[in-house]
């Protein structure tokens, strides 16, 4: 019996099938195609060699080769389908991961819902305390003109007291005319103007919101922080009313064991003015790093409305008097939860944030 080019066909076919089964990526499959079913495959070489056979043998040999090719091509198509769907599943999985840890955490049990951040939660609690004391809550813009942030508050251009607020100026209009508000006090001006216009004095309001100062963040300061402003304009208001509100607030919010004290201070828009301090909650007054060993933490400032401010908004200072206060919401959160370093509030470390859910 003469040797036929197809003598080893069975073993060669098995080898091709094994090669196809071993492709484990679409890239390998594409690269391998010429060698298993294409022009450079043994099947194509055998096809050419059929010409050497005696004419009567060619038909059967051709049929054998066709059958071998059909098997290899079928295996190849099946492998391609498998690898394509695996690649698609992998791409979907990658997309899902791209949505972030939060989504992954929610997809896997146990389900955890988000919660308000500590500063937002503190702001709401503070609003609640003041609403309970008869105040309403108002809002003001974070981008202010120089007039609202400074001039109407009795802080003229180039006055040395401007140094109390390290200002971010917005590149808009004339230089240094538009600012990111350095405190919530400009909202006092908006409220008084509106009340004068609509004839709705008196005012008993608190105004929470974000403020900005060109400050280097440290244990007690952030460059973007939050204040809550208080404003009372009524008839016959005295400093005793102011001290009473501050004291009532401190007890309601921090508890009866935390003291408040007022220390003489200066603000251009209040006269007399005071700084409002509370016992440091981290050391209970002993002195620690957070309170710079003083035992006290300054929450903010306060005072009786300066006649110049009433005049700026057109309120008759003979009929009306009032007081204002403004203090840090972040500082309150820090004191309420005994957070040694305020920068933790903006670092977004979920291990920290989760403690306040």
Q: How far is the CB of 143 from ligand PHE (least distance, A)?
A: 17
Closest residue by Cα to residue 20 from 5, 31, 9: 31
Q: How far is the CB of 213 from ligand PHE (least distance, A)?
A: 9
Query: Who's near 214: CB < 8 A, 6+ residues apart?
Result: 166, 167, 168, 223
- Residues within the interface to ligand PHE (CB under 6 A): 183, 185, 267, 270, 273, 300-303, 324-326
∠ CA 275-207-223 to the nearest 5 degrees? 65
- Cβ closer to ligand PHE: 32 or 326? 326
- Cβ closer to ligand PHE: 20 or 153? 153
- Cβ closer to ligand PHE: 273 or 334? 273
Q: How far is the CB of 155 from ligand PHE (least distance, A)?
A: 10
Contact 269, 155 (CB under 8 A): yes
d(CA 145, CA 155): 13
d(CA 351, CA 2): 80
What the block records as the tokens of 7 is 């003598």
Q: How far is the CB of 301 from ligand PHE (least distance, A)?
A: 3
Q: Tokens 């009929």 label which residue?
A: 319
SS3 at position 215:
coil
Q: How far is the CB of 268 from ligand PHE (least distance, A)?
A: 9
* Inter-helix orientation angle 329-336/118-132, to 10°: 100
Q: How far is the CB of 326 from ligand PHE (least distance, A)?
A: 3
- Cβ closer to ligand PHE: 258 or 275? 275
What the block records as the tokens of 259 is 């003291």
- Cβ closer to ligand PHE: 32 or 208? 208
């Amino acid at each position: 019996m003469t040797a036929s080019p197809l003598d080893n066909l069975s073993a060669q076919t098995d080898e091709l099938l094994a090669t196809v089964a071993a492709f484990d990526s679409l890239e390998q499959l594409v690269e391998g195609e010429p060698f298993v079913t294409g022009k450079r495959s043994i099947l194509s070489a055998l096809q050419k060699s059929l010409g050497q056979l005696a004419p009567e043998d060619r038909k059967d040999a051709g049929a054998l080769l066709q059958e071998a090719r059909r098997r290899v091509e079928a295996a190849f198509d099946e492998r391609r389908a498998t690898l394509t769907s695996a690649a698609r599943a992998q791409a979907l999985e990658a997309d899902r991961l791209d949505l972030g840890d939060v989504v992954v955490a929610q997809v896997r049990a146990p389900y955890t819902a988000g919660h308000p951040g500590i500063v937002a939660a503190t702001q709401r609690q503070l609003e609640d305390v003041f609403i309970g004391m008869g105040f309403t809550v108002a809002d003001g813009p974070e981008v202010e003109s120089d007039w609202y942030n400074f001039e109407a508050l009795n802080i003229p251009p180039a006055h040395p007291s401007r140094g109390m607020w390290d200002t971010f100026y917005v590149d808009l209009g004339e230089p240094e005319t538009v600012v990111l508000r350095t405190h919530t006090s400009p909202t006092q001006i908006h409220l008084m103007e509106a009340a004068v216009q609509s004839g709705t004095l008196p005012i008993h309001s608190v105004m929470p919101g974000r403020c900005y100062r060109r400050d280097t963040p440290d244990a007690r300061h952030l460059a973007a922080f939050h204040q809550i402003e208080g404003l009372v304009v009524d008839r016959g208001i005295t400093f005793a009313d102011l001290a009473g509100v501050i004291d009532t607030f401190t007890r309601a919010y921090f508890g009866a064991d935390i003291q408040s004290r007022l220390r003489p201070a200066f603000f251009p828009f209040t006269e007399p003015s005071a700084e409002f301090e509370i016992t440091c909650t981290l050391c209970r007054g002993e002195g620690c790093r957070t309170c710079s060993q003083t035992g006290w933490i300054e929450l903010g400032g306060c005072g009786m409305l300066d006649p110049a401010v009433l005049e700026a908004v057109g309120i008759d200072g003979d009929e009306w008097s009032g007081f204002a206060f403004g203090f840090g919401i972040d500082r309150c959160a820090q004191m309420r939860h005994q957070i040694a370093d305020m920068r933790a509030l903006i670092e977004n470390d979920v291990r920290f944030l989760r403690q306040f859910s």
